[in-house]
Structure 1
Amino acid sequence: MARSLTEADWERLMDQLQDGDCTPFLGAGAGAGHLPTGAALATDSADEHGYPFKDKDDLTRVFQYVVSRGGDAVYEKGRLARKHFHGIEQPDFTQAHEPHALLARFPIPVYLTTNYDGFMAAALSNQGKQPHQAICPWYAGATQDPVFDTPAGYAPAADKPIVYHLHGNSSEPRSLVISEDDYLDFLVRVAGKQQILPPVIEEALGSRPLLFIGYSLQDWTFRVVFRGLLATVPPHQQRRHMSVQLLPDRRDDTEETRAAAQEYLAEYFDNMRISIYWGTAQEFCTELTARLDGRT
């Protein structure tokens, strides 16, 4: 599959990562091979709860059904977290091209994620850093992490970075953004007037280029994040972002239709000031590692 990044894109990205002028934004693909995919979670829940529709691989819709039938969203989220995320084996952070390990090398103060796992914090700890994990208080009854209440203002650093979980962490089932209602509630609260994102997170979103790893254009997550969270950034202040993307998996497509789809999506992303690498998170990190090694 053709890659769309230019040499200038690669040089800019490497400079930004090495200078800490970048905010990594991790999605489900970053943990591929170690965590169940959204489709796998959806199918498992659909089979368990007798989901009657054909889109059994759509987690947001399946879980909306599960919650609607069960009537207790927190309970169902807790069951899902215990079944699929507790006691999972971590990636091998000694592998230089492992996505979390690679990102942990850089002097970056803020890491954002919509994943429920703690892999990013673990990779940072493996590098000898002291990360702090915080969860976005989008859900009812949540309060802001006390770390943001310091009188002088909270200032994460390269050796003491923050990993901010926008869509929750498996350690707190209430915080998980899974169902359609969750996504809507999250967007209303975060993109509305409640101002629940702390200043340091808003700054990381608005003033630094974002590196999206592990998303696809079809993800609700990607659309909500980019359309909702970045909508308030004035155009003249917007940076050039980068995203690692997979094309839709449509095996019946011809080479011609796949090329046309890729051309359309590249243009779509370019209008949003996003440069695209077409491939998996692992492929991207392997190439990035090789390029970084070639610099030294």
Structure 2
Amino acid sequence: MNSNGSEPPPYGFIAKELVDGRAVPFLGAAASYAGVPDDQPHRLPGGQGLTERLIADWSGYPGSASDPLTQVTQYYEECVASHIDLCRRFRTVFYEEQLEQRPPPTARLLAAIQPPDERPFVIITTNYDCLVEKALDQAGRPYAVVIQDSNPWSPHNLRVRESGSERFEGVQSQDLVLKDYAGATLIYKLHGGFGDGLDKDVDTLVVTEGDYIRFVASLASNAVPPVAIAEHILHDRRILFLGYSMADWNMRVILYQLAQRRPQQQGVPRSWGVRRNISVVEKRFWDKRDVELFDMDLADFVVQLHEAIGADV
């Protein structure tokens, strides 16, 4: 049993589901820094750390550093700067400062998994960084990056780049075909992001309160995620939430929409989530949504999963 008295995760089964392509990793903020030394230069922060850094850098915020990041960014967008200024600042933190960094353990684990020949190995993330791509480059694995472009002025709602390509191409959701990426890893950036070949001032981020309102509206209309990715998830696949705060209402909306779109005659496979300090209320809430939570440090979970997969990462 774990130190908190709970049963340990079924590492062998989770590893097999990942390797066979029947589990879809869903990455939250902690996946980008779990297992990274605290004193490493440019170690990525969590949401609260990012809020504090932004307030310290730009100053003038009349509220508290404990306010939600969405509220702080909304203030700076409306009262001080603009959305593109936020995008440029985040590009520095999540892209430019990470160019020389070693990918974190979670990214190296996922890059070690060989995708099945008949379909892509799909990874979903709400993170803006390119650390998974970097790990895949180092592992020599082919991949494609699909960035959800929620900017209402964009002519396309997806930006797609295959490894080895120098540019992102604009694509409409209905034109994304997963079988085109069979045998490769497909990284779907749900909240926008950055990357090699994406112009510096291209703004795809979901970060302010206004962004999240528009994003949830797109979820409710079934416009996000793309049909191909939604159908991939709904086809008897489990979700492995890594480094995600299960208290986030945004995640509740995503799970609710996926549950509504799942065929009623199809059984719901049990999914998993890993995080620390899970409350009784939170655990009961996610039990009802067929997500089993493991109360443990993500870095420790990744180490054990490395061993179960048997890959040299």
Shift of 1:165: 0.6
Does residue 1:225 correspond to 2:254, yes or no? yes
1:204 paired residue number:
232
Which amino acid counterpart does residue 133 of structure 1 have in structure 2?
A: V
Aligned to 1:107: 114
Deviation string, structure 1 residues 7-48 (Cα, Å, up to 9, x no partner): 6x4343122112121111111101114312211221122232
Q: Does 1:169 align with 2:199?
A: no
Quick one: structure 1 residues 105 and 158, their matched pair in 2 at CA, closer, same or farther if it must change by over 3 Å?
farther
Q: Is 1:56 matched with 2:80?
A: no
Contact 1:244 1:276 in 2 (8 A): yes
Q: 1:187 aligns with which of 194, 211, 216?
A: 216
Question: Could you tell me how far apart the structure 1 residues matched to 2:231 and 2:46 are?
Answer: 30
Task: Decide whether the 8 Å contact of 1:277 with 1:284 is kept in 2.
Answer: no
Specify the alignment match of 1:155 in structure 2.
179
The alpha-carbon deviation at position 196 of structure 1 amounts to 4.8
- Cα deviation, 1:222-257, whole Å, max 9, x if unaligned, reads 334323454432453432111111227xxxxxxxxx
2:164 match: none
Identity of aligned residues (%): 25
Q: Which residue of 2 aligns with 1:276?
A: 293
- Aligned-pair Cα RMSD in Å: 2.9
| Structure-2 change in CA distance of 1:289 and 1:68 (3 Å) | same
Which segments of 5 or more consecutive residues in structure 2 lack a partner in the other structure?
Answer: 37-42, 116-120, 160-169
Match of 1:13 in 2: 14
Structure 2 partner of 1:215: 244
CA distance in 2, matches of 1:160, 1:88: 24
Out of 40-49 and 61-70, give the one that drifted further.
Answer: 40-49
In the TM superposition, what is the alpha-carbon distance from 1:153 to its structure 2 partner? 3.6
- TM-score scaled to structure 2, two decimals? 0.77
Partner residue of 1:44 out of 37, 41, 53: 53
Partner of 2:274: 244
| Structure-2 separation of matches of 1:201 and 1:140 | 21
Report the TM-score, using the length of structure 1 for normalisation: 0.81
Distance 1:153 1:71, change over 3 A: same
Aligned residue pairs, count = 276
Range with greater deviation from structure 2 (214-223 or 82-91): 82-91
The structural deviation recorded for 1:202 is 1.1
